[in-house]
Amino acid sequence: MESLLKYFLPAYLAAYFFAAFFWRSYAVWKRTGVNPLVFKGSDSAHDYIGRVFKLLFAAVVAAVAVYSTSGRLYEYLTPITWLERRWLQWVGVALLLTSLAWTVVAQAQMGESWRIGIDEGHHTPLVRKGVFGLSRNPIFLGMMLTLLGLFLVIPNAVTLRAFVLGVVLIQIQVRLEEEFLSGAHGDDYADYRRDVRRWL
């Protein structure tokens, strides 16, 4: 199982970043000419969260790289040995695969409204179809499941902190986006909030 995971996790991260960020962003840019990455370099709360997200993703990639290449260095990540159970790893793998499929579907259903961050310069339609009829934030839900799945597969201090910090950052980002969407869509978004839960 462990030798298989050392190949699976890097491949999974590559597929996740390609499908969840690069491909959808490229497709939107190609179709609309709009750059969907709207985190900038300002000192606003929104852009600060964007910078911390980048550090979080870098820590996740580093943890997976160390796990996959060096058992000796992996000990420095402080493994949580009492959580290293085969059945928990399988649960983690299932969460990873489910979250990837869920995220890809949600992004496809978002269409040209897909953004990474809050785009105040372009008005986009409010998406309520598909998985957005089940969750107002399906992509963020998928991200949290990905971080949880990764922690269950390789439980250590880095993946635990990544999961906890990721949940906190996502909770803050969601509230910033809800405030923006309330202003951008008015009563339509108010109705949507009444009809659909924030998560599930």
- The structural domains of the chain, with segments of one domain joined by +, span 2-195
Residue 83, pLDDT score: 96
Tell me which of 80 and 37 has the higher pLDDT: 80
Cβ–Cβ under 8 Å, residues 106 and 132: yes
Q: Does the structural domain 2-195 have CATH classification 1.20.120.1630? A: yes
- Mean pLDDT calculated for residue range 187-196: 95
Q: What percentage of the chain's residues is helix, strand, coil (to nearest 5)? A: 75, 0, 20
Q: Which residue has the higher pLDDT, 198 or 120?
A: 198
Q: Residue 24's pLDDT is what?
A: 85
**In this structure, what token pair is assigned to residue 72?**
């000796």
Q: pLDDT per residue over 112-165, tens digit each?
A: 888 888 888 888 889 999 999 999 999 999 999 999 999 999 999 999 999 999
pLDDT of 103 above 90? yes
Please give the structure tokens belonging to residue 185: 């869509």
Q: CA torsion 20→24→29→30, rounded to 10°? A: 140
User: Tokens 């950052």, residue?
Assistant: 169
Write down the pTM of the prediction: 0.93
The answer, yes or no, to whether residue 73 has pLDDT greater than 90, is yes
Q: pLDDT tens digits for 18-66?
A: 988 888 888 889 888 888 888 887 888 888 999 999 999 999 999 999 9
* Burial per residue of 175-186, b for 16 or more beta-carbon CB atoms within 10 angstroms, e otherwise: eebeeebeebbe
Six token digits for residue 145: 């499941």
